[in-house]
Amino acid sequence: MKKELNYPKKNDTLIYALGGLGEVGKNMTCFEHDDEILIIDCGVMFPGEDLPGVDYVIPDFTTLVNNPKKKILVITHGHEDHIGSIPFLLKSVKIDAFYAPKFAIGLINKKLEERKIIYSREIKVINNTSTVTTKHFKLGFFNTIHSIPDSLGVIINSPNGRIVHTGDFKFDLTPVGANSDYQIMSFLGQVGVDLLLSDSTNSEVSGFSTSEKQVAQKINAIMQKTQGRLIVATFASNVHRVGQILEAAVKNGRKVIVFGRSMENVVEISRKLKTIDIQENNFLKPHELNSHPDEKICIVCTGSQGEPMAALSRIASGTHRHIRLKPTDTVVFSSSPIPGNDGSVNSVVNKLFRSGANVLTKSVFTDLHTTGHASQDEQKLMLQLIKPTYFMPVHGEYRMLKTHANTGIATGVDPDKVIIAGNGDVIIFRNKQAFRSDYKVSGEDIYIDGNDTSGIASSVLKDRAILASGGFVSVVVTLDSRNNEILTRPSIISRGFVFIKDNQTMMKEAEAIVYEELKRTMRKKTTFLEIKNNIKHVLEAFLYKETKRHTIVIPVILNSVEAINQIKQYQENKKKYEKNKK
């Protein structure tokens, strides 16, 4: 019997993620009903070493671009993995209504200003008392604790039932800033939640995370006992931590200077919104560093993860415009390395040690570093408060989603009602029931390089990977297209593929193979494109057969008297060079 496919019906609510499932970053979840699409967050992901030359990875907006339905964008908080793709979204998709918390709006406006993007509508401020009503959805919000101010969870009342999206959260019983809305979460559990989407980032971390207040006490102790300048590297995105460092510095009589564009932006916006309440006279300008006592200076900068262009890396390398390390300096890392960044961090630490500075890599800062994401016990508490019928882990790699799913089952969620989805998978929400659809949307990665917002094709990345490992071979051919003649034998130039001196025989044979293919191609009427493709085909096959390595083959066709003379001159110079070497 043929299996009946699960496809959406007219009155269904569809749920699908364009990012954030099976990965950490570019969080973006869509809720679609009839002629409306509600979008929660629009984040970016920063590339790893396997994506050379890529600046950002963003969601594929094709599903939204091609869809004429009304689109409402709601942001849960201001971290890059939740707001970083907004400039690219606004360039390609019409957003009919835009809502975000106050602090996030400050960061978004700064981002749009830097990219010279004008959003013609007002970004409306939301908080835990706000209500947003659209044609098909009614939204409410509740405060969550995260490492940035104004972090919200979202209550989505749809025609097919109630959905809760936690955003990023943790539970801290002695928080810095606003507390979690435990009463609202508990009330939701009482009135009934049909589907919970919950943050999975720290699902593999047992227990309960450390309170930020405990970290604050240790920061103050470090400020008191450190002699000389204190240089603290931390995440710019951890606004609460940055605020505590600045406040401790001022409390202990130190003037503060901030380096790193992202850090400068966060401090500027935080002061404007009074999230960080430090007066201007407590800050130093770069030119004032040398005229102020070292023991009265605290430098706060980016680079705690060893990022090569961050302020701390430039300080360690001696290339920073304003800071030269002294033996009396103390450098503190305020966060542990993210898995995969250990090598970069160690490289920076070694440079700092060589400069003579005192480096605290195992300080109380790192011992008591606390995360902004819920550990297992906090995830259990969220599940117990909300008491969902269906549970869908979000924001995490597959193993994180799986571990969080098991946590949900352990707290009483029916195993048959736990959904682990991937980007592009469509979940049908129908009459308070959620199940996977056989219909999918595009959930691919889009790679952004420099100012190019169209996305880099995967073939370009493949070429970059080959260039990094196999170099390139260029074939220069001189022709007279008017008479269909080959004027000189092909000349091969190689960089990063093989050492020419040890492989002269192979290269001569390669030139002969190209020459024969060229003669065969030009016996009949042909085009430059066909000549190039044929050269690439035969040469790539030959070189792989000889070396078992892939390389980029670049054919260059010269078809003018001037170019012919240049290639002849090059060949003569090459012969003279080889003769002199012998």
Are 13-207+371-456 and 458-581 equal in CATH topology?
A: no
Q: What whole-number distance in Å separates Cα of residue 188 and Cα of residue 182?
A: 10
Q: Residue 82: enclosing H or E segment and its boundaries?
A: helix 80-83
- Give the burial class of 135: count Cβ atoms within 10 A of its Cβ; 0-12 exposed, 13-18 middle, 19 or more buried: exposed
199 is catalytic: yes
Q: What whole-number distance in Å separates Cα of residue 153 and Cα of residue 128?
A: 8
- The domain ranges of the chain are 13-207+371-456, 212-367, 458-581
Q: What whole-number distance in Å separates Cα of residue 82 and Cα of residue 151?
A: 11
pLDDT value at residue 458: 56
pLDDT value at residue 340: 56
Q: Residue 489: enclosing H or E segment and its boundaries?
A: strand 485-495
Contact between residue 104 and residue 168 where contact means Cβ atoms under 8 Å apart: no
Helix (H, G, I), strand (E, B) or coil at 226: coil
Q: What whole-number distance in Å separates Cα of residue 145 and Cα of residue 407?
A: 21
pLDDT value at residue 375: 93
In angstroms and rounded to an integer, the radius of gyration of the C-alpha atoms of the chain is 29
445 is catalytic: no
What type of residue sits at position 84? G
Opening angle at CA 361, ends 358 and 365, nearest 5: 110
- CA dist list (Å): 424 to 30, 51, 416, 442, 498: 10, 22, 21, 5, 43
| Per-residue confidence in pLDDT tens, the chain, 582 aa | 445 568 889 999 999 999 999 998 999 999 999 999 999 999 998 876 667 667 888 999 999 998 999 999 999 999 999 999 999 999 999 999 999 999 999 999 999 998 889 888 899 999 999 999 999 999 999 999 998 999 999 999 999 999 999 999 999 988 887 899 999 999 999 999 999 999 999 999 998 887 777 777 778 888 888 888 999 988 888 898 899 899 999 999 999 999 999 999 999 999 999 999 999 999 999 999 988 999 999 999 998 877 777 899 899 988 999 999 999 999 988 776 665 567 777 888 898 888 888 887 655 444 445 678 999 999 999 999 999 999 999 999 999 999 999 999 999 999 999 999 999 999 999 999 999 998 899 888 888 876 665 666 555 666 767 777 778 888 988 887 777 788 888 888 888 887 767 788 888 888 899 889 888 888 888 888 888 888 888 888 898 888 888 888 888 888 765 555 666 676 777 777 677 765
The highest-level CATH class for domain 458-581 is alpha beta
Query: Any idea which residue has 């924001």 for tokens?
Result: 395
Contact between residue 469 and residue 43 where contact means Cβ atoms under 8 Å apart: no
The residue from 373, 404, 445, 449 that is catalytic is 373
Q: What whole-number distance in Å separates Cα of residue 42 and Cα of residue 27?
A: 6
Q: Domain 13-207+371-456: what homologous superfamily? A: Ribonuclease Z/Hydroxyacylglutathione hydrolase-like (3.60.15.10)
Sequence-distant (6+) residues with CB within 8 A of 289 are: 257, 297, 322, 323
Residues making up the chain, counted from first to last = 582
Tokens of 117: 């993007």
The residue from 199, 329, 445, 449 that is catalytic is 199
Q: Residue 453: enclosing H or E segment and its boundaries?
A: strand 452-456
Contact between residue 250 and residue 282 where contact means Cβ atoms under 8 Å apart: yes
Contact between residue 305 and residue 334 where contact means Cβ atoms under 8 Å apart: no
CATH number of 212-367: 3.40.50.10710
Q: What whole-number distance in Å separates Cα of residue 182 and Cα of residue 252?
A: 35
Contact between residue 27 and residue 395 where contact means Cβ atoms under 8 Å apart: yes
Cα 431–chain centre separation? 36
Opening angle at CA 369, ends 365 and 373, nearest 5: 160
- Exposed e or buried b per residue across 309-328, where buried means at least 16 C-beta atoms within 10 angstroms of its C-beta: ebbbbbbbeeebeebebeee
Q: What whole-number distance in Å separates Cα of residue 211 and Cα of residue 371?
A: 9
